[in-house]
Amino acid sequence: MLNVQIRKRFRSNGAQPFVLDVAASFPPGFTVLFGPSGAGKSTLLDCIAGLQQPDSGEIRLEEATLFDAARSLSLPPRSRKLAYVFQSLALFPHLTVEQNIRYGLSDLAGTEQTKRTNQIANSFRIENLFFRRPAELSGGEKQRVALARALVTRPSVLLLDEPLTGLDTALRRSILEDLRAWNEASRIPILYVTHNREEVDAIGERIVTLVNGRIQETGAPRAVLDAPRSIELAQSAGFENVLPAVVVEHRPADGVMRVSLDHAACEIEIPLGDAAPGNEVRVAIRAGDILIATEPPHFLSARNILPGTIEAVETRGTMVALRVKAGAIFQVHVTPGAVRALDLSPGLLVWLVVKTHSCHLVR
Amino acid sequence: MNAEALFLSLRLAATVAILLLAIALPLAYSLAFSTWRGKFLVESVVALPLVLPPTVLGFYALIAMGPRGPLGKIWLSLFGHPLAFTFAGLVLASMLYSLPFAVQPLVASFESLDRRLLDASAVLGAGRGRTFLRVILPLAWPGVLTALVLSFAHTLGEFGVVLMVGGNLPGITRTVSIDIYDRVQALDYTGAHQTALLLLLVSFVVLSIVYGVNRRVWLPWPAK
């Protein structure tokens, strides 16, 4: 178990200094650190690794104290027994793949170094790259080498800062599979920073969300990300619609409340939440959770049916983004097939259908 | 042409370049990586020889090295002879004079290193010494070469400092530039020309090596 309780203030030119203020425990296994950029995720990892010094607090790994401001104790990075894969990977450009992997093993005997290097190279399938330099590797190969270099040291904590950014889905999945297999065998705390929802779903046992230097929520990925409680989180969790709203009335018998969106442009029903009538809140809705109909729909369980007009149609790869004015402006994602079948085009009168539970109350 | 003077100059330049590198490496390391606020003061001192007339530098060096100067006294008690007007004195003064030419390329190349590589080395268990030898030096070698070559070339061509500190003792402190000056004074233009042309060629070759090896390390003008 890794216990972190730290505070670090950053001087800034702006009016408000950035403060990282985190108290959390990381058990063995994956913990995803999720949050918008600038939330302090990399700074948190740097503090745990000893590359930056917090102003106060302590960091403990099992029985060992890595950092304790009260006792002016801070182990240097090299004595913390952890591994850190940076976003930039930071492979040594002048060393070969093999030399890169061996770099962290200098305290061991030569034969042991060779044994471990071969072992890890084998499990990450990079033996054939031993004599290449980082510049001669593809993106996925570099990522594998960086992971191998970190894991070959048999760390007690693994810090991963968006290690798979820029890879295509198949490659990411295969590397994640390798990582997961490795995790089964070693069971140490792994802190995994990512913005990518797909990676969260693929590895997340636990998720910790960080916003503005503070931990906002901790829990299972689905529970946390599907009902974000802050606007920053909603946006980074992929909620395209985050609309200002005012609570109109509670209907406890139905388990819902009515809110008016975007300065009384329209009204919808959302699940009953922690906000009193008259309160200003925000409502987050995924663009993909909104259905579109070209005739007034009847006999539906969905409680929110809003008439509107398509303002723009924009094709983005395998998805089409519609901008619909139905009182407020909504982003709606549909497939190209739906656009053809319904002949969706700007100016067309449509009805938006939104399930009550697709609407999330956000602070 | 005065072979003795040329040989002396080469010996001086080589000695200065090597000794200076030994001093400049730790100095540049601390300038590049320290977060100390008063760092700019050290930077200014290091850069002083760039703007000071060599005669000013030479003058103070001479006073310091004289039998009653602080350096001269220590030297006298250690070795039993004065420091001024000796080869050793010349080396010392030239090191001062060429200091910025050794330090600045090193600082520039250290500062251009990706800090994450140093972080990676630290997390992988390396101390500062190992990080310096295995990561910083191999990646900053064009800067090291530039520092060596520039301090060599700069020392090779110095005049004012040598004149002040070394005087004009054949085989001990009479360097090529002093020799050229003497010949011009004596209206021996042919002799002056031979030595001057040789110096020009050597300087050009040396600088070509630096800029050819690395176009980005330290240019007197901004890189495009």
Q: What is the pLDDT of residues B123-141, one digit of tens each?
A: 999 999 999 999 999 999 8
Instruction: Write the pLDDT tens digit of every residue in A22-60.
Output: 999 999 989 999 887 778 899 999 999 999 999 999 999
Span of A239-248, A299-308, A336-345, B208-217 with lowest mean pLDDT? B208-217
3-state secondary structure at position B54: helix
In chain A, what residues touch B119 (CB-CB under 8 Å)?
A: 46, 49, 51, 77, 84, 86, 90
pLDDT for residue A171: 79
A144 in Cβ contact with A97 (< 8 Å): no
In chain A, what residues touch B122 (CB-CB under 8 Å)?
A: 50-51, 76-78
pLDDT for residue B222: 43
pLDDT for residue B76: 86
* Helix, strand counts (H, E) of chain B: 12, 0
pLDDT for residue A14: 62
Q: Which residues pair with A210 in a beta bridge?
A: A215
Find the mean pLDDT for residues B66-75. Answer: 85
**CA atoms of A163 and A42, how far apart (whole Å):** 12
Length of chain A: 363
Which residue is closest to A50 within chain B, CA to CA? Answer: B123
Cβ separation A94–B125 shorter than 8 A? no
Which residue is closest to A157 within chain B, CA to CA? Answer: B123
Query: Does residue B75 have a pLDDT over 90?
Result: no
DSSP calls for A67-134: EEGGGTEE--GGGS-EEEE-TT----TTS-HHHHHHGGGTTS-HHHHHHHHHHHHHHTT-GGGTT--G
Length of chain B: 224
B55's tokens: 């005669």
Residue from B123, B131, B141, B144 whose CB has the most chain A CBs within 10 Å, to mutate: B123
**Strand locations in chain B (E):** none
Q: Which of B117, B125, B134 is nearest residue A90 as measured by Cβ atoms?
A: B117
Instruction: Write the pLDDT tens digit of every residue in A114-166.
Output: 999 999 898 888 989 999 999 999 988 999 999 999 999 999 999 999 888 77
Work out the minimum CA distance from B131 to partner chain A, whole angstroms: 10
**CA atoms of B85 and A232, how far apart (whole Å):** 72
A361: part of which helix (H) or strand (E)?
strand A360-362
pLDDT for residue B1: 62
- Exposed/middle/buried for B190, CB within 10 Å: 0-12, 13-18, 19+? exposed
In chain A, what residues touch B130 (CB-CB under 8 Å)?
A: 106
AA letter at B175: T
What is the DSSP-derived secondary structure letter of residue A63?
A: T
pLDDT for residue B216: 53
Cβ separation A103–B124 shorter than 8 A? yes
**CA atoms of A24 and A203, how far apart (whole Å):** 19
Residue A153 at interface with chain B, using a CB cutoff of 8 Å? yes
- Exposed/middle/buried for A316, CB within 10 Å: 0-12, 13-18, 19+? exposed
B79's tokens: 């070795």
- Exposed/middle/buried for B112, CB within 10 Å: 0-12, 13-18, 19+? middle
Work out the minimum CA distance from B58 to partner chain A, whole angstroms: 42
B146's tokens: 């530039």
Find the mean pLDDT for residues A293-297. Answer: 89
Which residue is closest to A78 within chain B, CA to CA? Answer: B125
Which residue is closest to A108 within chain B, CA to CA? Answer: B125
Query: Does residue A61 have a pLDDT over 70?
Result: yes
pLDDT for residue A204: 73
Span of A14-23, A74-83, A223-232, A346-355 with lowest mean pLDDT? A223-232
Find the mean pLDDT for residues A202-215. Answer: 85
pLDDT for residue A59: 95
Cβ separation B125–A86 shorter than 8 A? no
Spell out which chain B residues touch chain A, with contact meaning CB-CB distance below 8 angstroms: 114, 116-117, 119-127, 130, 134-135, 138-139
B11-46: burial string, b at 16+ Cβ within 10 Å, e else: ebbebbbebbbeebbebbbebbbeeeeeeeeeeeeb
pLDDT for residue A13: 65
A339: part of which helix (H) or strand (E)?
helix A336-342
pLDDT for residue B219: 45
Mean of the per-residue pLDDT values of chain A: 87
pLDDT for residue A46: 94
A190's tokens: 């792994």
3-state secondary structure at position A188: coil
> pTM of this prediction?
0.75
pLDDT for residue B215: 59
Residue bearing the bigger pLDDT, A201 or A279: A279
Q: Which of B120, B122, B125 is nearest residue A106 as measured by Cβ atoms?
A: B125
pLDDT for residue B224: 37
pLDDT for residue A159: 95
pLDDT for residue B141: 87
